[in-house]
Amino acid sequence: MSKVETCTFCGVPRFISKALHWESNGVISLPASPGERMVFYDAVAVDHLFDGISGLIGLDIDNMVIESRRRETRRYMERLVPEDVARVLRDHGADLTERKYRGKQYNLQINMVGMLYGYGRIEISGLWEGDDPYPWREQLYRNPYSLRFCMADTLGTVEAIEDRDLWVRSEPSGENAYLVKVVEGEHPVELKGRLRRKKYPFKPGDISFKRCMACGVPLEVARCHWDTEGGTIYDPMTGRRMVFIGSAAMDAVLDDLWEELGESVPETVIEAQRKFVKKYMENLSWPRGPEENSMHLALRGLGYLSDFHADGTSLRMTIRNSCLHLPVVGLAVALAELVRGRDNSGLRWELHEDGDLRIEMLF
């Protein structure tokens, strides 16, 4: 990967400060893609959530997760792939030298974005050295944050470039390294129509971040260590690996699981997240009061904590502009139980059409 330009003051890659903006209402927005949003998420939590769901229901959900994520990635990438690049790569009569040059440059560009988002080290394969007509179909991932999502992203991107349905597989290629191959073949699962969540205008907020004076990234984010060669982001205060992912893609996967597996899915997702967070966070620091919780949510792009009330028997909170609402409910339950040292005896939650997530726990 070419040398990455970084902020001379805080060291954050310039790509991050230009592509993402931390809003005062708990949203991490993409100025170049209005309506889209990102979350700054614990990398280890992604696959652990799906592992937990699989364990609770006794069913392998890998193909469903990959299928759901890939179609969201394809939808997104179809808007981003430059027309001139797509035209050359789809034209088998085009000059081979130009076709390989344009394809390789675009492949490297996409890989660079993924690495800066924390997806792991992504390398092009040896197919580029030969005469394979589709050398962009193979990627080598080292230390991927989620093999499921990396496979799905590769598949969705290739499908967007070639404008055709394909499938994907992976094979080990060294320690924590996987060769991901997009292959000819039908999708092994066909998901039902997606539950379309109503889009809503974001409500305002009054969160104030301490920001880098040069690039504007919140200092709590700027303290993270970007290994731009290894494709990882680590928070030195917690030791946790972090990753940027599109909230719509994650929500879409959970929506599709809900549609495919039935009404027990929300409870299963919340329970899987609760169990993981309690085990993962038990010996780590976590937000305890309303101000800490509000900042924690906002820095991660999970919404704006507009109401928080806790007493000896109950806890109530409202999160405006919410996303990833099922994992967030599981997170809230786990943290409340850790603080109080006991399990809650009652949980009620509701996602309103205007994006407000309301959670109530009784103890």
Question: Which residue carries 């994992």 as its tokens?
Answer: 327
Q: Which of 75, 83, 63, 73 lies closest to 110 in space, CA to CA?
A: 73
Q: Give the helix ranges, DSSP H, for the chain.
A: 14-19, 43-57, 62-80, 83-90, 96-116, 147-162, 219-222, 247-261, 265-281, 290-299, 325-340
pLDDT of 92 reads 79
Question: Which residue carries 């792009």 as its tokens?
Answer: 301
The span from the CA of 356 to the CA of 98, in Å, is 50
Tens of pLDDT, residues 9-63:
999 999 999 999 999 999 999 988 887 899 999 999 999 999 999 999 999 999 9
Give the dihedral sign, CA 68/69/72/75.
Answer: negative
Q: DSSP letter for 211, please.
A: B
Q: Which of 205, 213, 197 lies closest to 248 in space, CA to CA?
A: 197
Report the CATH fold assignment for 263-362: Muramoyl-pentapeptide Carboxypeptidase; domain 2 (3.30.1380)
pLDDT of 313 reads 84
pLDDT of 328 reads 96
Q: Is residue 38 classed as helix, strand or coil in its secondary structure?
A: strand
| C-beta of residue 167 within 8 angstroms of C-beta of residue 187 | yes
| C-beta of residue 349 within 8 angstroms of C-beta of residue 357 | yes
Tens of pLDDT, residues 66-81:
999 999 999 989 988 9
pLDDT of 285 reads 61
| C-beta of residue 53 within 8 angstroms of C-beta of residue 268 | yes
What's the token pair of residue 45?
A: 């939590």
Backbone angles phi, psi at 310, to 5 degrees: -135, 140
| Domain range list for the chain | 1-197+209-262, 263-362
| C-beta of residue 354 within 8 angstroms of C-beta of residue 200 | yes
pLDDT of 197 reads 58
Q: How many CA atoms lie within 13 A of 85 on its CB side?
A: 20
The span from the CA of 63 to the CA of 281, in Å, is 29
For residues 56, 61, 64, 67, the Cα torsion angle rounded to the nearest 10 degrees is 130
Measured in residues, the chain has a length of 363
Q: What is the pLDDT along the chain (363 residues), one digit of tens a residue?
A: 568 999 999 999 999 999 999 999 999 999 888 878 999 999 999 999 999 999 999 999 999 999 999 999 999 899 889 998 989 888 877 788 888 888 999 999 999 999 999 999 999 999 999 888 899 999 999 999 999 999 999 999 999 999 999 999 999 999 999 999 999 998 988 887 665 556 778 999 999 999 999 999 999 999 999 999 999 999 998 889 999 999 988 999 999 999 889 999 999 999 999 999 988 776 666 666 778 889 999 999 999 999 999 887 888 999 999 999 999 999 999 988 888 777 777 899 999 989 999 999 988
Angle at which helix 265-281 crosses helix 325-340, to 10 degrees, equals 40
Which residues, including other chains, have CB under 8 Å from residue 20's CB and lie 6 or more apart?
28, 29, 30, 38, 244
Tens of pLDDT, residues 185-214:
989 888 876 655 567 789 999 999 999 999
